[in-house]
């Protein structure tokens, strides 16, 4: 490995500022645009002229772009083009966001949504490489934690901006999102280092789970990636129970992705919650969720990751049941019931993210990095399937039935995770 540029291998202890670099602002802006504004603006824009199925397809294309991450990761590793990929990805995302409100056909919207996802994946993929390849391992924990803090704060600010814009001037919202992505290029210029490496197995990060539930933009989600070598290294670990657990994760994430992809339109159509209020509610829930990561880790160590994961699934199950009932029968203050239930769906992500990552690492044997790459790939695929199926369900049976997909996904995941738990206990018994 050859590292060129400004690297500070020995930061001064005792100050949080030494862990933060100017280019972290690029990821704060990225979080604002692709994790905060885009998930609200895209459905609202398509919903004005298109059907629910169209919304699902566009959001599916948006998530599909995230699956290009291994390509950008390989280029960054071999060519040392981290800064170029970051800036080009931001520019690509900015251009696609600026053009989207002017697209008049479904094909054009799909292409632009896919372009946004690809650009975000290109930019987000190299985030952790800037840290793990340019700084000593003891520094990774703090630096990556602060990087994700910037990204998460950006997402919350983006949601708040979406709430202020609402659906009154969606075109203005897209222009703001495009300007934010473009502005993100400026802090990226401060990263002067060039990092060249050969193909390598990426070490497991200390903060692999502290990322948003957004499958398109989270820098943490894109570090461990799936490729042919990863599958080869996993070997027997992939057969069982890892593959069974990943199937449980896929169906659970697909169910909730169906709801998230239609979120702002669904909240209006079913619960009479305007986009401004739904965006602000999402921002509040996302902020509260950031404070649950540390307790989730403690609970996982105390009670076991599988038990905590199943508890998170139960919380989501109850929330989706209430959302379904609120859409079918009059429960009184429907809008507030819907917002609180959705907040529980978001808060449960902290439990699921931490424990899902830990379980995958354990089931992957000595190849945790490759296992997490497969875990992230299943998350991305589930996001695509969930968005498309959610749009189809809303188009055929109405938006209120999308919550049923969340219920089906969680129930299926609870059943399959029970099988994984049973197999794990049997394996421990045999080893004893």
pLDDT digits (tens, 9 = 90+) for 297-352: 889 889 999 999 999 999 999 999 999 999 998 878 899 999 999 999 999 998 99
The yes-or-no verdict on residue 153 having pLDDT over 50 is: yes
- Average pLDDT value for residue range 239-260: 87
**R_g over Cα of the chain:** 21
Query: Rounded CA gap, 343 and 339, in Å?
Result: 6
Query: Rounded CA gap, 295 and 274, in Å?
Result: 33
Position 75 confidence tier, pLDDT thresholds 50, 70, 90:
confident
- Average pLDDT value for residue range 17-29: 87
Cβ proximity of 257 and 382 under 8 Å: yes
Cβ proximity of 36 and 353 under 8 Å: no
The yes-or-no verdict on residue 225 having pLDDT over 90 is: no
Cβ proximity of 128 and 148 under 8 Å: no
The yes-or-no verdict on residue 426 having pLDDT over 80 is: no
Lowest-confidence pick of 23-27, 52-56, 229-233: 229-233
Q: Which residues pair with 27 in a beta bridge?
A: none
pLDDT (tens digit per residue) in 397-419:
999 999 999 999 999 999 888 87
CA dihedral (367, 370, 376, 380) positive or negative: negative
- SS3 labels along the chain: CEEECCCCCCCCCCCHHHHCCCCHHHHHHHHHHHHHHHHHHHHHHHHHHCCHHHHHHHHHHHHHHHHHHHHHHHHHHHHCCHHHHHHHHHHHHHHHHHHHHHCCCHHHHHHHHHHHHHHHHHHHHCHHHHHHCCCCHHHHHHHHHHHHHHHHHHHHHHHHHHHHHCCCCHHHHHHHHHHHHHHCHHHHCCCCCEEECCCCCCCCCCCCCCCCCCCCCCCHHHCCCCCHHHHHHHHHHHCCCHHHHHHHHHHHHHHHHHHHHCHHHHHHHHHCCCHHHHHHHHHHHHHHHHCCHHHHHHHHHHHCHHHHHHHHHHHHHHHHHHHHHHHHCCCCCHHHHHHHHHHHHHHHHHHHHHHHHHHHHHHCCCCHHHHHHHHHHHHHHHHHHHHHHHHHHHHHHCHHHHHHHHHHHHHHHHHHHHHHHHHHHHHHHHHC
**Angle between helices 52-64 and 106-125 in degrees, nearest 10:** 30
Position 199 confidence tier, pLDDT thresholds 50, 70, 90:
low
Query: Rounded CA gap, 32 and 184, in Å?
Result: 10
Q: Which range scores top for mean pLDDT: 95-104, 117-126, 330-339?
A: 95-104
The pLDDT of residue 429 is: 42
Two tokens at 347?
Answer: 């808060």
**Angle between helices 38-49 and 275-290 in degrees, nearest 10:** 150
The pLDDT of residue 5 is: 39
Lowest-confidence pick of 114-128, 134-148, 386-400: 134-148
- Using alpha carbons, list the distances in angstroms from residue 153 to 90, 215, 228, 253, 365: 18, 17, 35, 23, 34
Lowest-confidence pick of 74-83, 119-128, 205-214: 205-214
Domains of the chain: 1-7+16-192 (1.20.1250.20), 232-432 (1.20.1250.20)
The yes-or-no verdict on residue 185 having pLDDT over 90 is: yes
Query: Rounded CA gap, 424 and 44, in Å?
Result: 44
The pLDDT of residue 266 is: 95
């Amino acid at each position: 490995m050859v590292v060129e540029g400004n690297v500070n291998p020995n930061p001064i202890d005792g100050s949080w500022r030494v862990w933060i670099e100017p280019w972290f602002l690029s990821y704060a802006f990225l979080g604002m645009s692709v994790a905060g504004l885009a998930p609200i603006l895209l459905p609202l824009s398509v919903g004005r002229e298109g059907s629910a199925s169209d919304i699902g397809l566009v959001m599916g294309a948006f998530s599909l772009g995230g699956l290009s991450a291994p390509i950008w990761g390989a280029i960054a590793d071999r060519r040392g083009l981290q800064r170029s990929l970051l800036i080009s990805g931001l520019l690509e995302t900015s251009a696609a966001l600026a053009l989207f409100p002017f697209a008049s056909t479904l094909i054009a919207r799909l292409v632009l949504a896919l372009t946004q996802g690809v650009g975000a994946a290109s930019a987000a993929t190299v985030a952790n490489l800037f840290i793990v390849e340019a700084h000593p391992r003891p520094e990774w924990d703090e630096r990556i934690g602060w990087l994700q803090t910037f990204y998460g704060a950006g997402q919350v600010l983006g949601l708040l901006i979406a709430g202020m814009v609402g659906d009154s001037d969606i075109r203005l919202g897209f222009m703001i999102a495009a300007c934010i992505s473009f502005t993100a290029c400026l802090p990226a210029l401060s990263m002067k280092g060039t990092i060249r490496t050969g193909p390598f197995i990426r070490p497991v990060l200390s903060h692999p789970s502290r990322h948003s539930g957004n499958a398109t933009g989270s820098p943490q989600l894109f570090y461990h990636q799936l490729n042919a070598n990863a599958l080869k290294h996993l070997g027997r670990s992939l057969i069982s129970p890892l593959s069974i657990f990943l199937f449980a994760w896929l169906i659970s994430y697909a169910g909730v992705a169906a709801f998230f992809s239609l979120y702002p339109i669904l909240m209006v159509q079913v619960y009479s919650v305007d986009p401004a209020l739904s965006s602000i509610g999402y921002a509040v829930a996302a902020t509260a969720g950031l404070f649950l990561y540390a307790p989730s880790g403690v609970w996982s160590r105390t009670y076991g990751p599988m038990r905590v994961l199943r508890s998170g699934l139960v919380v989501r199950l109850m929330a989706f049941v209430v959302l379904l009932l609120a859409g079918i029968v009059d429960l009184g203050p429907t809008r507030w019931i819907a917002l609180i239930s959705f907040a529980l769906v978001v808060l449960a992500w902290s439990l699921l993210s931490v424990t899902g990552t830990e379980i995958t690492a354990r089931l992957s044997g000595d190849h945790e990095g490759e296992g997490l790459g497969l875990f992230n790939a299943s998350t991305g695929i589930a996001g695509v399937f969930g968005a498309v199926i959610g749009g189809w369900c809303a188009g055929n049976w109405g938006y209120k039935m999308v919550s049923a997909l969340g219920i089906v996904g969680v129930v299926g995941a609870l059943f399959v995770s029970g099988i994984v738990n049973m197999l794990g206990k049997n394996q421990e018994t045999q080893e004893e």
